[in-house]
Structure 1
Amino acid sequence: MPTPLIWLALDGVGHPADAPPGSSGEADGPWETGLPTLRPFVDAGLALDATLGVEGLPQSATGQTCWLTGQDGVAAMHGHFGPQPGPTLRRMLDEASLPVGLTRTGRQAALLNFYPPGYFAAQHERPRHGCFPYSFLAAGLPLCPPGLPLLSPTLGLGYRAPWNATDGLDDWRRRGEEVAAVRGYDLLVFDAWFSDLLGHEGRSVPPPGLHLAAGAYLRRLDALLEGLLGAGAAVVLSSDHGNFEDLNVKSHTTARVPFAASGVSLRLPDGRPPTDVLEGGRVLQNLFGL
């Protein structure tokens, strides 16, 4: 049975090399948290441009479309667009997203996110799926697939301030080991969007507890990654745009984004390393021969 590639698709996390130092009474920014697995993993990878040379702040829908399809969602929209994909981007995802391509070629993919009942109720009233759930649905694949170790995108933190944790780091290491033990799939994706939500809480004077929550989030991601790598999983980590790395602003940023991997090569078909999120998406397509 195939051993899956695990894709940790971060949302709104700029590369630590482009993160400003902490301020407003905080000694350090989120990336300065003790991250014995995650930080070396990211530092050993690449820092990719998310602007694609287009004016304005990168957005989730166009950035994630680039990652999922290897096609230029920013050019298709004549600029950055988000957060959810509209008709133009949905057509691109329908035709060329990784879940669709894998399904067409007889391979198996799954989205590991846990969605509560309220999500489905809200979508029934007004469908506004992000690019990742939309792509899996477009491929005829279910959300909350049965029989898989599903992951909460909050990584065990409360959804709203003060973002208190409901579990511990050992729980997330075990979840990483459980995901690494899955067989019968070619690709498993975790759409880790809570980092973008935390990033949008940023202010010139960040709200109380935000830096602690951001550090706790990264430590849980670190534990998840430790569990995955310790169990021998092949892992790819990416991000669509900057935001969370700078908690002194509410908006997205033009920071470069991380692209790192273990167990697979991050090279384009001609052997070059990618330089931006569009080329990063082409690397992912190439890994599966799409």
Structure 2
Amino acid sequence: MHFVMIFLDGFGLGSEENNPIVSARTPNMDQLLGGHLLWGDRFIAAGKSRLTSLDATLGVPGVPQSATGQTTLWTGVNASKVLGYHLNAYPNQQLAHIIAEKSIFKQLADRGQQGMFANTFTPFYEQQIANGKKRHSASTLSALAGGVKLRRIPDLREGRAVYYDMTNAFPRELGEDVPLISPEQAGRNLGKLALNYDFTLYESFLTDVFGHKQKWAESIRLIEQIDSFLGGLMDTVKDEDVAWLLTSDHGNIEDFKIKGHTRNRVPALAWSNSKIEWPQWTKLEDVTPGILEILSI
């Protein structure tokens, strides 16, 4: 089986009000769920799809943050409990050590399975890392811990990688010679790539960026692009031995009444073409153990 994890930073399950996810047109997700239902704390089992909600607070007071939430997602270790608080942005040394030891990519590599990080890294990014102006996120540290080779502009140009904006508009603005593509094509590219690996991760943090900036129209457009992206992915994997999961580290974009992260639960929207026993996911730290269990069958 091939497992794909689609990670959307700051993508929670809010109410119907002030929620661009509810206001957006999402025909592909609606078809998966049997309705326009990607909001609220709910459980749905519809055909080959399943939606559950995950507690992102990690049992620690305060508002969930990215470094601890993402470390938890990709290791199965409750990072906020280890630190005693929620840490934003990038992992500190203590979290980096947890990732180095427990990354899902490392755990897969240790048992002879291949992982792939589909995102693209530009020369500009690498220069910022080299100059100390930027640090690796939890996702990148997780991939590197498993010996995963990072994908670069030549890979993106040939459809062997995906950019976090899905369309390649951002790297083109940086002067990179890459084609402008549709979100659907980006999803198809991800699906084709995933068929060569046991586990594939793709992330986009634009949902969190737009949530912080409270860009309503842009957020609706982004959600609709994500839906088209999922449609392209499904076009490619619908007849293959594939499972995928869409999830997040904390809420943000789903509630424009709050400027910043929320304590809302986050989705675990899953699909598989094979009959599998889905794990009982209820919180962020359940995700990595559940994926490893599925991939051990």
Deviations 1:101-144 (A, max 9, x none): 11222221111112222111111112511100111112222221
Residue 184 (1) aligns with residue 182 (2): no
Aligned to 1:50: 56
Q: How far is the alpha carbon of 1:172 from its aligned partner?
A: 1.8
Matches within 5 A, 1:1-290: 4-15=2-13, 18-19=14-15, 21-22=17-18, 29-39=20-30, 41=32, 43=38, 44=44, 45-126=51-132, 128-144=135-151, 146=155, 149-156=160-167, 171-182=182-193, 183-202=195-214, 210-231=215-236, 232=238, 233-263=242-272, 265=276, 267-268=278-279, 273-289=280-296
3-state secondary structure, aligned to 1:198: helix
- Equivalent residue number for residue 207 of structure 1: none
Aligned letter for 1:79? Answer: Y
CA shift digits 1:33-54 (9 cap, x unpaired): 1101124546440111111232
Deviates more, 1:173-182 or 1:95-104: 173-182
5+ residue gaps, structure 1, are 23-27, 160-165, 203-209
**Closer/same/farther in 2, CA of residues 88 and 20 from structure 1, 3 Å limit:** farther
- The letter for the 2-side match of 1:124 is A
Distance 1:40 1:81, change over 3 A: farther
> Which residue matches 1:206?
none
Letter in 1 for 2:165: T
Quote the offset at 1:167 in angstroms: 5.5
Amino acid at match of 2:63: L
Amino acid at match of 1:9: F
Verify the 8 A CA contact 1:19 1:29 in the aligned structure 2: no
Aligned length: 262
Instruction: Tell me whether 273-282 or 120-129 shows the greater mean CA deviation.
Output: 273-282
1:13 positional shift: 0.4
Q: Are the counterparts in 1 of residues 121 and 151 from structure 2 also a CA contact under 8 Å?
A: yes
- Is the Cα contact below 8 Å between 2:72 and 2:285 reproduced in 1? yes
- SS of residue paired to 1:58: coil
Query: What TM-score comes out, normalization by structure 1 length?
Result: 0.82
Distance 1:19 1:151 in 2: 31
Q: 2: distance between equivalents of 1:251 and 1:157? A: 26
Indicate conservation of the 8 Å contact 1:19/1:255, yes or no. Answer: no
Specify the code of the residue in structure 2 equivalent to 1:14.
Answer: G
Structure 2: runs of 5+ lacking an equivalent: 39-43, 45-50, 171-178
> Over residues 225-253 of structure 1, what are the superposed CA-to-partner deviations in whole Å (9 max), with x where a residue is unaligned?
11112222421111110011123432110
Letter of the 1:34 counterpart? R
Over the residues paired in the alignment, what is the CA RMSD in angstroms? 2.4
Is 1:114–1:150's contact at 8 Å kept on the other side of the alignment?
A: yes
Note if contact 1:57-1:253 (Cα within 8 Å) is conserved in structure 2.
Answer: yes
8 Å contact from structure 1 (residues 266, 283) kept in 2: no
Distance 1:104 1:77 in 2: 26
Conserved 8 A contact 2:5-2:201: yes
Task: Name the stretch that deviates more: 58-67 or 245-254.
Answer: 245-254
Once residues 94 and 292 of structure 2 are traced to their aligned partners in structure 1, the CA distance between those partners, rounded to angstroms, is: 20
Give the conservation status (yes or no) of the 8 Å contact 2:105–2:115.
yes
For residues 229 and 277 of structure 2, the distance between their equivalents in structure 1, rounded to whole angstroms, comes to 21
Cα distance in structure 1, aligned partners of 2:196 and 2:20: 39
Kept in 1, the 8 Å contact 2:10–2:250? The answer is yes
